[in-house]
Copies of this chain bind each other. A is one copy, B any other.
Amino acid sequence: MRIDLNCDMGEGLGGREVDEEMMSLVSSANVACGFHASEPGNMHRTVRLAKAHGVAVGAHPSYPDRPGFGRRDLAASPDQVRDDVLYQVGALLAFCRAEGVPLCHVKAHGALYNAAAKDLPTALAVAEAVRSVDPNLWLVCLFGSAQVEAARRTGLRYVEEVFADRAYSRDGRLVPRTTPGSVIDDAAAVGERVLRMVKEGKVHSLDGTDIAVGGGTICVHGDTPGSVELARAIRDRLLAEGVELAPFSREET
C-alpha cells in the first residue's frame, strides 16, 4: 500500500523552520504563489527545498487576498478564477523549470478550494486553467466534491484528498472549524484515523457512525501549532504499518 502526504508550503506561517521540517516528512508540497502569501524569492526557495527532499511540487493558487490569507469568499467570476489560476500556476512552473523539477499538481487554496468543492463552474474554471498550462498536471480534489467532477469533464488526472486532523460529518463533509470537536489535535488519534482511512477507507464521523472516505492523498496543515508533530505521528504510524509514503503524482513502475 502507498499513500501521499501533502502540506501547504512557503506561506510564511511558523517561519522557515516549519517548512524545512515539514518538507522532510511529506511527499507532496503545495507551494503558495503570491496571491495569498509568498513572493518570487520565497517561491524559488520553497521549490529548491522540495527538490532537496525529493518532494513533489504543486501550485497552490488562491484568490487575490493577501490581507485575508485567501480565506475569504470572493465573488470572482469563473473567467476571473481561470485567469488568476493561469497566472499563478504559470509563475510556479517557471521556478520548477529553473530548478529542473517537474510541476506535478495543483491544489486550490482556502476559500477558492472551498468554492471549487461546491460550485461546478468555479471548479471547471480551475480545472481548465490547469489543463491549459499542462494537460498532464494532477488536480487535488476534496473527496467526492465538484472538483472531482470538473477534473473528469476536463480530462485531468486527479487525486481525492482527505484531512488528517479534521472531523467529518455523517454526510462526508468536513465539520466547520467553528464546531466543537472539528479539529483533532491528539497525534495518536490522528495517526489512527489516517491509518483507518488508508487501509479501510472509513472514518468515524463526528456523531460516531462509520462513513466512507478515502483518496490518494492526506492533507496536514502547516499553520497549526504542533503540525510538525502531527505530520510525524501520521508518517510514523503509516510506515510502521507498512504503508509507503510517495507522491500520488509519481507514476508507479
The chain A residues found within 8 Å of chain B, CB to CB, are 12, 14-15, 34, 39-41, 43-44, 64-68, 72-76, 79-80, 82-84, 86-95, 97-98, 111, 129, 132-134
Of B14, B40, B43, B67, the residue contacting A39 (CB under 8 A) is B67
User: How many whole Å from A96's CB to the nearest CB in chain B?
Assistant: 9
A73 (CB) vs chain B CBs: closest residue: B75
Task: Give 26 A-B contacts (CB < 8 Å), ordered by A residue.
Answer: A34-B87, A39-B67, A40-B67, A40-B86, A40-B87, A41-B79, A41-B83, A43-B83, A67-B80, A68-B76, A68-B80, A73-B73, A73-B74, A73-B75, A74-B74, A74-B75, A75-B111, A86-B98, A87-B91, A89-B94, A90-B91, A90-B93, A93-B93, A94-B133, A97-B134, A98-B129
Across the interface, which residues of B come within 8 angstroms of A79, CB to CB? 41
A77 nearest CB neighbor, chain B only = B72
In-complex Cβ contact of A76 among B72, B83, B95, B132 (8 A): B72
> With a CB–CB cut-off of 8 A, which chain B residues contact A76?
68, 72
Q: How far is the CB of A252 from the nearest CB of chain B, in Å?
A: 28
Residues of B within 8 A of A89 (CB): 94
CB A33 to nearest CB in B, in angstroms, measures 9
Shortest Cβ-Cβ A-B pairs, 7 listed: A90-B94, A40-B83, A73-B75, A98-B132, A86-B94, A39-B67, A40-B87
Alpha-carbon distance between A80 and B84 when the two chains are bound, in angstroms: 23
Contacts of A83 on B, CB cut-off 8 Å?
Answer: 40-41, 43-44, 95
In the assembly, what is the distance between CA of A75 and CA of B112, in Å? 12
Count of chain copies: 4
The A contact surface, by secondary structure, is: helix
Residues of B contacting A98 in the complex (Cβ-Cβ under 8 angstroms): 82, 86, 129, 132-133
Known: A41-B79, A97-B134. 14 other contacts (CB 8 A): A14-B15, A15-B15, A39-B66, A64-B66, A65-B74, A68-B76, A72-B76, A86-B91, A86-B94, A86-B97, A90-B90, A94-B129, A97-B133, A98-B133
Measured between beta carbons, the chain B residues less than 8 angstroms from A111 are 75
Contacts of A72 in B (CB 8 A): 74-76
Q: Which chain B positions have C-beta within 8 A of A82?
A: 98
User: Which residues of chain B come closer than 8 Å to A43, judged between CB atoms?
Assistant: 83, 87
* Measured CA separation A111–B76 after assembly (Å): 12
Give Cα A65–Cα B74 distance, bound, in whole angstroms: 10
